[in-house]
């Protein structure tokens, strides 16, 4: 099966958009956009993310053994595009973030964020599956709608009239 065909079919499944953040070996914030994310377990609180094995963020995340998942709001398309760049240079410039309880960069204006400790890893072809144990939750007082990704484009959630 060709990768292009696989990607096209997988693109028919709408996903939310996250930015995964951690610290590099020098303690600098780094991050990347990811939509391969899901909740895994309530007890204990586990989630999973899947990152390309060639990702520089992955290398740092494995060394740090902790990461944050930031759920992007529909007003944060530019943040998603910024963190989707391959280069780590200047990703955090002009981006609202603060230090979380685990010392990780937690982005502002998100729907929610979760700081995790790395609980396990599994091989997933050209990706590594990372299981995170939720340690700290962040949710703003004001709610907005999620940023979505569908068929290679950003989308916004729209309620159906029933």
Which domains does the chain show, CATH number per domain? 3-156 (2.30.110.10)
Look at residue 145 in the predicted model and tell me its pLDDT: 95
The total of other beta-carbon atoms located within 10 Å of residue 52's CB is 15
Q: In the predicted model, is pLDDT for residue 88 greater than 80?
A: no
Tell me the average pLDDT of the chain.
Answer: 95
Question: What length does the chain have?
Answer: 162
Look at residue 160 in the predicted model and tell me its pLDDT: 87
Look at residue 76 in the predicted model and tell me its pLDDT: 97
pLDDT per residue as tens digits for the range 41-77: 999 999 999 999 999 999 999 999 999 999 999 999 9
Handedness of CA 26, 29, 35, 38 (dihedral sign): positive
CA distance 77 to 82: 9
Which residue, chain included where needed, has tokens 């953040």? 21
Look at residue 120 in the predicted model and tell me its pLDDT: 99
* Adjacent-strand bridge partners of 49: 37, 130
User: What six digits make up the tokens of 139?
Assistant: 């949710």
Percentage above 90 pLDDT, the chain: 87
CA distance 137 to 48: 15
């Amino acid at each position: 099966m060709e990768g292009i065909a696989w990607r096209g079919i997988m693109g028919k499944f709408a996903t939310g958009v996250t930015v995964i953040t951690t610290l590099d070996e020098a303690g600098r914030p780094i991050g990347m956009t990811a939509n391969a994310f899901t909740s895994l377990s309530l007890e204990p609180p586990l989630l999973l993310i899947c990152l390309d094995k060639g990702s520089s963020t992955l290398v740092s995340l494995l060394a740090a053994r902790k990461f944050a998942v930031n759920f992007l709001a529909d007003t944060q398309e530019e943040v998603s595009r910024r963190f989707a760049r391959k280069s780590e240079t200047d990703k955090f410039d002009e981006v609202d973030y603060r230090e979380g309880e685990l010392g990780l960069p937690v982005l502002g204006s998100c729907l929610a964020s979760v700081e995790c400790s790395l609980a396990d890893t599994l091989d997933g072809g050209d990706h590594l599956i990372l299981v995170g144990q939720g340690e700290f939750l962040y949710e703003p007082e004001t709610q907005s709608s999620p940023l979505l990704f569908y068929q290679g484009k950003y989308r916004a959630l729209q309620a159906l009239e029933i």
